[in-house]
Structure 1
Amino acid sequence: MDTGLQLYNTLTRKKEIFEPLNAPHVGMYVCGPTVYSDVHLGNCRTFISFDLIFRYLTYSGYKVRYVRNITDAGHLEGDRDEGDDKFAKRAKLEQLEPMEIVQKYTLGFHDVLRMFNTLPPSIEPTATGHIIEQIEMIKEIISNGYAYEANGTVYFDVEKYSKEYNYTILTNRNMEDMLANTRELGGQDEKRGRLDFALWIKAKPETLMRWASPWGEGFPGWHIECSAMSAKYLGEEFDIHGGGMDLAATHHTNEIAQSEACSHKQPAKYWMHTNMLTVNGTRMSKSLGNGFLPEELFKGEHVLLEKGFSPMTVKFFMLQAHYRSTLDFSNEALDASEKGFKRLMNAISLMDKLSPSESSDFEIGPIIDNCLKAMNDDFNSPVVIAELFEAVRIINTVYDGKGTISAAELDKLKKLMKDFVFDIFGLKAEDTSNLELNSVLDMVIELRKTAKENKDYATSDKIRLGLQSMGIQLKDSKEGTTWNKA
């Protein structure tokens, strides 16, 4: 177990030496999806990032309890928990029971993450499965004086809480500015303060998902579920709480407030947030028409995509950016990642064909040390990938007969690739036949390029049309030639 691991802590805005509360045991809670629609790429990036963290902590010798919730009730239209229940809206739209909606999109979420080869969490609790725990937590918050009931709805008293605790500790926002920017929403006449948010919401006559409570029939607010479930499975204080950066300002801020109001303890020691996705420099969103689902990305079925990209190519692309940095999608960037991933996997497939020598021109130890150092520096996957391509260079050099490697160094090289490419990054080789096809097509495309440079356009066209007749479409651009199956 390496105690030199450093994590960037959103609470303190700096890197800190990771010291788990119950070493070598680690408790990690990550806010999971709200399953009333298909999972989007922003979700995927978050879960791929925390899969990397889960894998590396486990690899480093920690015993990790990774809890990732499923929100299947209580997530409403607004940040302050106002509006119509999204599950009920979707159920009415698709003419299904709300729990049919939950089942449909939960299975879809799991299918997508399997395609990205992520590990399942240790525990995946649901909001609807923990109504009792949420009610009990709300009762304790009321008893401690930080919440009040109004007409069957229970609100958290932000002003009362803020007199004793730092409500904006996670974001450093100014309370006066927050008050000025708070929209007028339904239920404001019931609230004591404009920033107060709902812990329990009174059911309307048409509400489909409802439960009995001391305050009448209703359903939980969005934020209370994570506070209740993290406390149940990880305790009142645990090590890591994570999610997308969009959750910090409201959801995670309110989680901290609820937990402290209940137990008088800050729930997590480290708060970690993944950054947002952009498309050609513009933030990805449905309203702008530049947001696409994983399936659309895999199949190339979106107006902004020139072709489809495999799940492992997309995962490799995501790992090439640090989890705290903005990740920009473009056809050019994905093409480059596709070529890089193929090059990495082709090199790995060559390792068994290398013949060890008595002496070695290369030392693999420094590469392994650099990879570990990068991962210990807040899981810096881009630096690890750069080191892995140094290993790729060595493999290709030895395979071409331009260098030697000893049996001991070759064993280190194989272990390096197994540990970091497969065990820590969670990448996997694509279909072997596809890899062979890639190699053949790369050679054919190079022959066509040579023909074009020699102004032998007849041969160039013959190659293009021949491939087209076999269902392979070539696309020329200033960056080079790419292909996809027509």
Structure 2
Amino acid sequence: MLTLYNTLTRKKESFAPLHPPLVGLYLCGPTVYNDAHLGNARGPIVFDVLTRYLRYRGFQVRYVRNITDVGHLVGDGDEGEDKLARAARAQKLEPMQVAQHYTVRYRQAMAALGCLPPDIEPQASGHITEQIALIEEIIQRGLAYEVNGSVYFDVPKYNAEGGEYGRLSGRVVEELLANTRAELAGQAEKRAPTDFALWKSAAPEHLMRWPSPWGEGFPGWHLECSAMSRKYLGAEFDIHGGGLDLMFPHHECEIAQNEASATPGTGARFWLHNNMLTVNGQKMSKSLGNFITLNEFFQGSSDALSQAYSPMTLRFFFLQAQYRSPIDLSDDALQAARKGYRKLMNGLRLLDSEKLKVKSEEAEIDEQKLVANSQQLNALAAKPFEFLDDDLNTPRALAALFDLLKRFNTLAATPAALAEVSPEAVAAAAATYRTVVVDILGLRDEPRASAEELLTLALGFYQEAKLEKAYDKVDQIRSALKTQGIVIKDTKTGVEWAYSEE
């Protein structure tokens, strides 16, 4: 039975969907005003593995991950300029040009990291109608108010009527009030400092605006996820995911909005949060010079790291830590992750070889020993699932895979030992290894060498064979390259290659 840690209840709970076999899963996606950074990759990888595992377990998952292209203000609250609008002004572009550019780059990065695309990827700007309708529901229940064309959620009234603002994050409203200054820019029109914007009136210079019953404006950042999750998963669904940094205020506000709607409820039954990433023991920030985008990571252009690392190395690195634990990124940690990842890939190569197939001419085997050894192998193969069931404990699942691989290596190197295990048990364990590594953890083999470099090497061997008049090798190299669609041309200036036009 799969158990997941529910932030809302602060305990592990057995997971059972509301409407089996259907599972609704919502993940807060990026605000597309800039390239995604390393920290932005952890959540998608975690929830990609969860989605894969649920599907492996036979559930039909509807995975929704949004794109925020409006309403996320610089202060992450209700003050400052819209992050997307600010980027558009700086680049002298339309906001939607900026959004489209970084959305495409984000999707490319997620694909490189082995993340399956979500089933639905709604954009906030495409769901203004749903957001206005949700605001109207909250106003009708008396839990929001309009001031100068902006609409705010009334937190004190919500709590007075039985709401628990702060329940998810463990924040106490009285402490929030004591630590909040009402004179902050844009806050003076609120009735209470804890109130948050559902709709903001657009200043004349604001680039992104829509008509509404309260005048031209734009939606609040928190409102968007409530409206989109409800549209595609319903007022009550199974899992809502996101980074720990979104727990407050974003997810806290989502729950309040959901409970203040015409169909009250927390939204998701399970709220899951992945922990944060540090770089060389420090919080990632531009001021510290350790802010690394995914493209910089893949290309090796960051001063914070000594070299480029592949997408699968980063995916394996994140899987080495349980998703609720913090994780620190460094060259040493990444090089260790690369070794571990390559070890798993060598395991897949071993499975593709003939080394784990029992030879029919082996001597008679003790049946009792055969059964015992087969059961032992079956038990090793079951371990990764045991750990995945325990709140998606990927580091322990990886350790179990390495134990299984160690057994495979022993069997491959010792024919007598291999003969003492049933072929059925070996085949089943091999299938399990492949399923967990590839289908559930989403790790895939990456090309190790450049095609250009390999061609240069092959042409060097070709030239050496010609000089030595080893014409059988010359023909062999020509033939091998031709099967790959490459032809060799001997010219007056040397040897060249071209694509075959046959």
Q: Does the CA contact (< 8 Å) of 1:150 and 1:190 recur in 2?
A: yes
Stretches of structure 1 that go unaligned for 5 or more consecutive residues are 438-486
CA distance in 1 between counterparts of 2:146 and 2:105 reads 37
Q: Does the CA contact (< 8 Å) of 1:312 and 1:428 recur in 2?
A: yes
Equivalent AA in structure 2 for residue 384 of structure 1: A
Q: 2:171 aligns with which of 165, 170, 173?
A: 173
Deviations 1:141-181 (CA, angstroms, capped at 9, x unpaired): 01100000000000111111111211011011121211122
Give secondary structure in 1 for the equivalent of 2:318: helix
Offset of residue 409 of structure 1: 2.4
Q: 1:92 aligns with which of 89, 93, 106?
A: 89
Alignment of 1:311-326 (within 5 A): 311-326=311-326
CA distance in 2 between counterparts of 1:169 and 1:111 reads 37
Q: Does the CA contact (< 8 Å) of 1:88 and 1:208 recur in 2?
A: yes
Q: Does the CA contact (< 8 Å) of 2:255 and 2:266 recur in 1?
A: yes
CA distance in 2 between counterparts of 1:19 and 1:408 reads 32
| Residue 400 of structure 1: aligned partner | 413
Offset of residue 187 of structure 1: 2.4
Q: Does the CA contact (< 8 Å) of 2:381 and 2:404 recur in 1?
A: no
Q: Does the CA contact (< 8 Å) of 2:67 and 2:123 recur in 1?
A: yes
CA distance in 2 between counterparts of 1:40 and 1:305 reads 14
Equivalent AA in structure 1 for residue 299 of structure 2: K
Q: 1:116 aligns with which of 90, 113, 117?
A: 113
| Residue 353 of structure 1: aligned partner | 354
Give secondary structure in 1 for the equivalent of 2:127: helix
CA distance in 2 between counterparts of 1:36 and 1:80 reads 17
| Residue 265 of structure 2: aligned partner | 265
1:57 aligns with 2:54: yes
CA distance in 2 between counterparts of 1:166 and 1:186 reads 27
| Residue 232 of structure 2: aligned partner | 233
Give secondary structure in 2 for the equivalent of 1:190: coil
Q: Does the CA contact (< 8 Å) of 1:26 and 1:239 recur in 2?
A: yes
CA distance in 1 between counterparts of 2:188 and 2:387 reads 53
1:215 aligns with 2:214: yes
Q: Does the CA contact (< 8 Å) of 2:356 and 2:408 recur in 1?
A: no
Q: Does the CA contact (< 8 Å) of 2:319 and 2:394 recur in 1?
A: yes
Offset of residue 69 of structure 1: 0.5
Alignment of 1:130-149 (within 5 A): 130-149=127-146
Q: Does the CA contact (< 8 Å) of 1:274 and 1:323 recur in 2?
A: yes
| Residue 203 of structure 1: aligned partner | 202
Q: CA 1:280/1:432 → structure 2, altered by over 3 Å: closer, same or farther?
A: closer
| Residue 255 of structure 2: aligned partner | 256
| Residue 191 of structure 2: aligned partner | 192
1:411 aligns with 2:417: no
CA distance in 1 between counterparts of 2:91 and 2:280 reads 33
Number of residue pairs the alignment of both structures matches: 433
Cα-Cα RMSD: 1.7
With structure 1 as the length reference, what TM-score do the two structures score?
0.86
Q: 1:156 aligns with which of 145, 153, 156?
A: 153
1:68 aligns with 2:84: no
CA distance in 2 between counterparts of 1:334 and 1:406 reads 38
Q: Does the CA contact (< 8 Å) of 1:76 and 1:82 recur in 2?
A: yes
Offset of residue 299 of structure 1: 2.2
CA distance in 1 between counterparts of 2:231 and 2:264 reads 16
1:378 aligns with 2:381: no
Q: Does the CA contact (< 8 Å) of 2:277 and 2:329 recur in 1?
A: yes
Q: CA 1:434/1:387 → structure 2, altered by over 3 Å: closer, same or farther?
A: farther
Offset of residue 432 of structure 1: 5.8
Deviations 1:237-296 (CA, angstroms, capped at 9, x unpaired): 111011000000100000000110112222110000000001122222223221211122
Stretches of structure 2 that go unaligned for 5 or more consecutive residues are 454-502
Give secondary structure in 2 for the equivalent of 1:364: helix
Q: CA 1:268/1:21 → structure 2, altered by over 3 Å: closer, same or farther?
A: same
- Greater C-alpha Rg: 2
Give secondary structure in 2 for the equivalent of 1:219: strand
Q: CA 1:38/1:196 → structure 2, altered by over 3 Å: closer, same or farther?
A: same
Give secondary structure in 2 for the equivalent of 1:290: coil
CA distance in 2 between counterparts of 1:367 and 1:199 reads 52
Offset of residue 399 of structure 1: 2.8
Offset of residue 101 of structure 1: 0.4
Offset of residue 88 of structure 1: 1.2
Q: Does the CA contact (< 8 Å) of 2:6 and 2:272 recur in 1?
A: yes
Q: Does the CA contact (< 8 Å) of 1:356 and 1:406 recur in 2?
A: no
CA distance in 2 between counterparts of 1:233 and 1:339 reads 41
Q: 2:439 aligns with which of 402, 423, 428?
A: 423
CA distance in 1 between counterparts of 2:239 and 2:286 reads 30
Give secondary structure in 1 for the equivalent of 2:72: coil
Offset of residue 7 of structure 1: 0.6
Equivalent AA in structure 1 for residue 391 of structure 2: D
